[in-house]
Structure 1
Amino acid sequence: MFLLDAPVSAAHDLVAGLAGALSPVAGDLATAAAIVLFTMGVRLLLLPLSVAQARGERSRRRLLPKVRELQRKHAKDPRLLRRETLELYRAEGTPLAGCLPALAQLPFFTVMYRLFLSATVAGHQNLLLAHTLLAAPLGQNWIGVLGGGILSPAPLVFLGLFALLLAVAWVTSRRVPADAPMAGVLRLMPFGTVAVAAFVPLAAGLYLLVSTAWTAVERAVLHRRIVAPAA
């Protein structure tokens, strides 16, 4: 995709440069470590959005009694209810960050996905595809490594990744409040990362693992420091 050529090229140079710098310390794990650092850099870049989201959650909790009163008052007029609720949030200066932090990550994940699918980058062979995490090629997906048997070394690396993603998803799902709108759906959504990781290159699955783990820790910290004091 032409629009991604420049970002993919920049990501290639960054990951390759980090891997080269880490190679004396990390050895064969240098490229995987570079992807971890890349992901952490993205999350640091997006931290202000997460802080705004936490502040918005604190404000929405504070305004919950007024919102419930509006719901009671306009129960038969959903359009008026939405308008009055939005006006209440605007009047109180409540940020409406919502899912913006998650959506803002999509371009970075897409770039990582494309980087480890592209045979060439900027007209040159993409040597990152030959790099591995333990026995699994970073440019290959789980389906592609099953030829040697599900218990061969490369598939076992993916199974370890899936197990870690499941653990993070379980922790994340448990933090969804029971009274949250569509709480059941919100509790299931984190487990979708496991399905995604089965079909994307290992490098993109590693990005997902680091990013979702970051989100779990970030939410716990921000909830304690920003949201909980106003509860």
Structure 2
Amino acid sequence: MSVFSLFVHLVERFADLLEPLFHASAAAAAIIGFTALVRLLVHPLSRAAARGQKARAALQPRIAELRGKHARDPEKLQRAVLELHAEEKVSPLSGCLPSLLQAPAFLLLYYVFSHSTIGGETNGLLTHQLLDAPLGDRWTDALAAGGMFGGAGLVYLALFAVVAAVATFGYRHSRRTMAANAATVGEGTPGLGAVTKVMPFLSFFTLVTVAVVPLAAALYVVTSTAWSVVERAALYR
């Protein structure tokens, strides 16, 4: 049995357990539960990333001294800052690991809900829906079926509203966090200065993702993004 077939089997079994509560939307609820499980497994790494960011903030006075010492030699300043990070065992890129480890789960969902057959058998998950929206359809399918305000279209409008609210909250929190740590992460690591400027806007790209991927994968993205925003607010308060 392939990993895709095994995943389909597990989601179907989980959906059967949830059916008394969620009825026809049980598979959608199972995907949200699967997302929560993935985020729980990754949470220790998120906590480690938060500790790393706080450690980088604690290095700010020493980095300021290095900037003054090597103001006329940017390359030497860069090497000195990287050496300081290595000496204190602080990685400037540690915050990327939790996101990278979630990618396989998203790709798994995307593959499963983009194929009508899995392991030579009919993909039964494609028969499930979230209210009036099939889990294997995309926003364009919802628009073609009933328009923006049809049954499936309204499901997507609700998802877009949730994403917009979560993204706005995440944007404000990220701007405060990045501004507080800009002096620490902006020096000595190529490209990080630009990354810190772009980071607060990344949550809004979720709107595009939700519009173009199968609904099941969109549910994963929305749930994971909401989890990330709440988690960051708690860990970086």
TM-score (ref. length: structure 1): 0.89
Q: Which residue matches 1:210?
A: 223
Structure 1 position 62, deviation (Å)? 0.5
> How far apart are residue 76 of structure 1 and its match?
4.2
Structure 1 portions without partners, runs of 5+: 225-231
Residue 119 of structure 1 contacts residue 126 of structure 1 at CA under 8 Å; is this kept in 2? yes
| 2:136 is the counterpart of 1:139 | yes
Q: Equivalent residue for 1:38?
A: 34
Distance 2:9 2:77 in 1: 50
User: Structure 1 CA distance, aligned partners of 2:73 and 2:6?
Assistant: 50
Show the counterpart of 2:170.
172
* Percent of pairs with identical residues: 45
Q: Once structures 1 and 2 are overlaid, which stretch shifts more, 184-193 or 161-170?
A: 184-193
Q: Distance in 2 between matches of 1:122 and 1:218?
A: 37
Which residue matches 1:190? Answer: 203
Quick one: structure 1 residues 102 and 75, their matched pair in 2 at CA, closer, same or farther if it must change by over 3 Å?
A: farther
Q: Judge conservation of contact 1:53–1:95 (CA < 8 Å) in 2.
A: no
Equivalent residue for 2:147, pick from 149, 152, 162: 149
Look up the match of 1:229.
none
How do 1:7-18 residues align onto structure 2 when only pairs under 5 Å count? Answer: 7-18=3-14
> For the residues of structure 2 that align with 1:70 and 1:159, how far apart are their CA atoms?
50
| Shift, 1:14, TM fit | 2.0
> Could you say what the CA RMSD is over the residues aligned between the two structures, in angstroms?
1.7
How far apart, CA to CA, are the structure 2 residues paired with 1:217 and 1:133? 24
Q: Residue 158 of structure 1 is aligned with which of 156, 166, 170? A: 156
Q: TM-score, normalised by structure 2?
A: 0.87
| Deviation sequence 1:36-87 (CA, Å, 0-9, x none) | 1100010011112101100101100100111122233334444333322222
Unaligned 5+ runs, structure 2:
183-192
Q: What is the CA deviation profile of residues 195-226 of structure 1, one whole-angstrom value per residue up to 9, with x for unaligned ones?
A: 111000011111011101111111112123xx
- For these two proteins, the number of residue pairs brought into alignment is 220
Structure 2 distance, partners of 1:7, 1:167, is 35
- The separation in 2 between residues aligned to 1:79 and 1:98, in whole angstroms, is 24
Q: Distance in 2 between matches of 1:137 and 1:62?
A: 49
Q: Spell out structure 1 runs of 4+ moving beyond 6 A.
A: none
Q: CA deviation at 1:7?
A: 3.2
Please identify, of 62-71 and 75-84, the stretch whose mean Cα deviation from structure 2 is larger: 75-84
Contact 1:168 1:216 in 2 (8 A): yes
- Give the Cα separation in 2 of the matches to 1:165 and 1:20: 28
Quick one: which amino acid aligns to residue 192 of structure 1?
Answer: F
Whether the aligned pair in 2 keeps the contact of 1:173 and 1:188 (CA below 8 Å) is yes
Code of the residue aligned with 1:125 in structure 2: it is T
